[in-house]
Structures are given as C-alpha cells and as structure tokens.
Amino acid sequence: FPYRWNEKHPARIGLLPRDGEAEDIRWFPLDPCFVFHTANAHDLPNGSVALDVVAYDRMFAGDNLAPDEQPRGLERWTIDPSTGSVDQRAIDPSPQELPTIDERRTGRPYRYIYALGLPEQMTETLVGEAPLIKHDLEDDSRQLHEFGPGRIAGEFVFVPRSPDAGEDDGWLIGLVIDAGGHTTALEILDARDFEAPPLASVRIPHRVPPGIHGAWLK
C-alpha cells in the first residue's frame, strides 16, 4: 500500500444520521488505533451509540502487506454525542478476528457475537490452531469451540433455524482446514450447544485456502 502507519495522527470515528448527508457527519476523536472489522452497532436509550469492534494498536507500521501484531481484542466503544466522547471498554482481550452475529440483529440491540480466535503469537499465515469464540454480551461470558490439533478454521456464519427463530437459535457454518491432510471440512455447529462436536462435517478432498468472509444466502 502507498501509505504507512503514523503514530502522530489520532484516530476518529464518525456518526452519520441515517437520512443525513456528508456534511452531517459528526466526528469523535480517539487515541491512535485501527479497526478491520466491526461486529455490530446500535442506539442506546440515553442517545449514545454502542459499537463493538476488534481493535489493533497499530497497523502497517512495518509490513504493508500484513498486520504487524495481533489485535488487542474485542471492545465496546460507546459514543456519546452529548459529550463528544468515546468510552472504550475491553470485552475480551484475547486475539480474535472476523466477528459475526445473527444478521437479523444488525443495527439493533443484540446478545451474541461469534469470533474466530487467533494464535497468541503472530504467524506468517495470520491464522492458525485456535478456537471459535462465542461471546454472551448479556452476562459477560464466553464459550470456546475447539477444532482439534492441526485444524485451522475460517470465518463462521450464523444461519437461523427459521425466519422467526430467536437469536442464537440456529447453526454456525464454516470451513476448517486439515493442515496435515491437505483436506477441508465444511462444519455445521449448533449455536446453542456451542462446545459440542459438529452436527455435521462435510469432507472436501482438497485444501480450500483461508478466506476472509463467508455469507449465508437462501
């Protein structure tokens, strides 16, 4: 990329009214940081906005082709228009990325985030043996789904059991690479029985390289 991280520049986050124009954006300053992926955002009763993100202290400070370090974890940023401030609170400081939710809750209050764990130490491939993480924002807890030695997961997406099913009532679907066997499995997890073995595992007889995002389409 034709740019590099500069510690002298602060970060900022903008709020744009749903029916607003570019000139209606309001900017809020932050200490220098970087965000690749957000989980969700929604309005709070007091007029603030809750935004859940995976944050990094810096990005592209050395290698412009990949992150310089693991993320500092999953955070909730509470943006207060009345004071012009942003409160940044850690939800889980463990390395993770690609947070996903029940997409029916996009822009609305919600309870669960599913994120891909990352190795504690950086790897050349960025991903590695690590669990899938389920965050319960209501009781501030988390569960881990372990895939086993030599198995590397990608992003998992949530599929509701039915159009009117409750949040978390459905399946999580994603690809898991067998690093030693050069095969891949499409695995289906019960979101409500998160730590249990997969409900199904479909073997793909070749390696599907790690990807960035998945999607569920009817």
**101 is a domain residue:** yes
**1 is a domain residue:** no
**pLDDT of the residue at 74:** 97
From residue 138, give the alpha-carbon distance in Å to each of 112, 189, 195: 8, 22, 19
- In 3D, which of 71, 158, 144 has the Cα closest to residue 106? 158
Average pLDDT of the chain is 90
Better-predicted residue by pLDDT, 42 or 217: 42
In the predicted structure, residue 213 carries a pLDDT above the cut 80? no
**167 is a domain residue:** yes
In the predicted structure, residue 144 carries a pLDDT above the cut 90? yes
pTM of the model: 0.91
Give tens-digit pLDDT for 50-79: 999 999 988 877 766 566 678 889 999 999
Percent of the chain with pLDDT over 90: 69
Per-residue pLDDT averaged across 211-216, rounded?
70
Number of domains in the chain: 1
Per-residue pLDDT averaged across 174-196, rounded?
93
**Who contacts 5 (Cβ-Cβ below 8 Å, separation ≥6)?**
34, 58, 59, 60, 61, 68
**211 is a domain residue:** no
Give tens-digit pLDDT for 15-55: 998 899 999 999 999 988 999 999 999 999 999 999 999 99
**Domain span holding position 75:** 11-204
Give tens-digit pLDDT for 108-134: 999 999 999 988 766 665 667 889 999
**218 is a domain residue:** no
In the predicted structure, residue 3 carries a pLDDT above the cut 90? no
**214 is a domain residue:** no
